[in-house]
Chain A
């Protein structure tokens, strides 16, 4: 699956560049939103069916997710700040 995702991604970028070169600007935002919703609906269904019940998963995942998400964001900003020589521009 990982290989398929990468192949499709590279093909999409190439097609996007080709369309840009042909001066056609696609607006796929709405289409992306529809498929993102379908993706997350089926993902939620799949996770829920695999684990049996919603209540089993969310409390277990929530604590780690909050800490990891906030830490990754903060670490990214702090490391960037240091890499840029502590410039506050």
Chain B
């Protein structure tokens, strides 16, 4: 799946450098919005249908604490990167609070802050997923399997769940899934709040 998504982005970027008979960014942008809305809808139906009360009541407290740590870490890094001129406080917080959901963060940041900030949003959140695949086994030895779930942000309910449950077992895998669901539920709100309320 990540390879397909990155391939799609690169195809679009490469196609933009050939002659497209005068097609402009303004003519393409509405399609980004339409596809984003349909994509968000399909993901949210899947997430909503997967919310199980039994899992939530058993692992809920630990998952909430993990999610709090994940959000706090992203806020700290967002503040730390606010000095980057192409992002500013609004951009760095919106990118950091994407928490690995690159297919949502990239288009939202592009629509609000332009191409460079949007590309940063996509790339940094994509790299977070990539980093989790490599770093989870290493962090697990230092910080434990549960705390290290926070590395993956929203991806811990799908793509990086494979490596987390493979390395740490089914119970930590269930916690990882619930953490990913919680982060996925709050990312659209946090990124929107950052883009709407924070100064540039």
Of A3, A14, A45, the most chain B CB neighbours within 10 A belong to: A45
B198 within 8 A of A: no
Give residues 44-81 of A contacting B (CB, 8 Å).
44-51, 53-54, 57-58, 60-62, 64-81
Contact of B66 among A46, A70, A73, A80 (CB under 8 A): A80
Q: List 12 A-B contacts (CB under 8 A).
A: A1-B108, A1-B111, A15-B45, A28-B45, A36-B8, A43-B110, A43-B118, A47-B110, A60-B116, A76-B71, A79-B150, A87-B146
Counting residue pairs across A and B whose Cβ atoms lie within 8 Å, the total is 321
Residue contact B12 to A48, C-beta cutoff 8 Å: yes
Residue contact B73 to A80, C-beta cutoff 8 Å: yes
> Interface size (A, Cβ < 8 Å)?
75
Contact of B40 among A12, A60, A73, A75 (CB under 8 A): A12
B176 within 8 A of A: no
> How many Å from the CB of A67 to the closest CB on chain B?
8
> Could you tell me which B residues sit within 8 Å of A by CB distance?
1, 4-6, 8-17, 20, 23-25, 28-29, 31-33, 35-51, 65-66, 68-74, 76-78, 80-81, 84, 86-87, 92, 95-96, 99-100, 103-104, 106-108, 110-112, 114-116, 118-120, 122-128, 131-132, 135, 139, 143-153, 185, 188-189, 192, 195-196
Q: How far is the CA of A52 from the CA of B183 in the complex (A)?
A: 35
Contact of A36 among B39, B47, B51, B185 (CB under 8 A): B39
Q: How far is the CA of A40 from the CA of B29 in the complex (A)?
A: 12
Residue of B nearest to A13 (CB): B48
> Could you tell me which A residues sit within 8 Å of B by CB distance?
1-6, 8-17, 19-20, 24-29, 31-33, 35-51, 53-54, 57-58, 60-62, 64-84, 87-89
Residue contact B122 to A43, C-beta cutoff 8 Å: yes
Q: Which residues of chain A come closer than 8 Å to B104, judged between CB atoms?
A: 5
Residue contact A6 to B192, C-beta cutoff 8 Å: yes
Q: Which residues of chain B come closer than 8 Å to A36, judged between CB atoms?
A: 5, 8, 39, 103
Residue contact A84 to B146, C-beta cutoff 8 Å: yes
Q: Which residues of chain A come closer than 8 Å to B148, judged between CB atoms?
A: 77
Q: Which residues of chain B come closer than 8 Å to A14, judged between CB atoms?
A: 48
Contact of B23 among A2, A43, A49 (CB under 8 A): A49
Residue contact A26 to B49, C-beta cutoff 8 Å: yes
Q: Which residues of chain B come closer than 8 Å to A77, judged between CB atoms?
A: 69, 73, 139, 143, 147-151
Q: How far is the CA of A9 from the CA of B77 in the complex (A)?
A: 26
> How many Å from the CB of B81 to the closest CB on chain A?
5
Q: Which residues of chain B come closer than 8 Å to A1, judged between CB atoms?
A: 33, 36, 108, 111-112
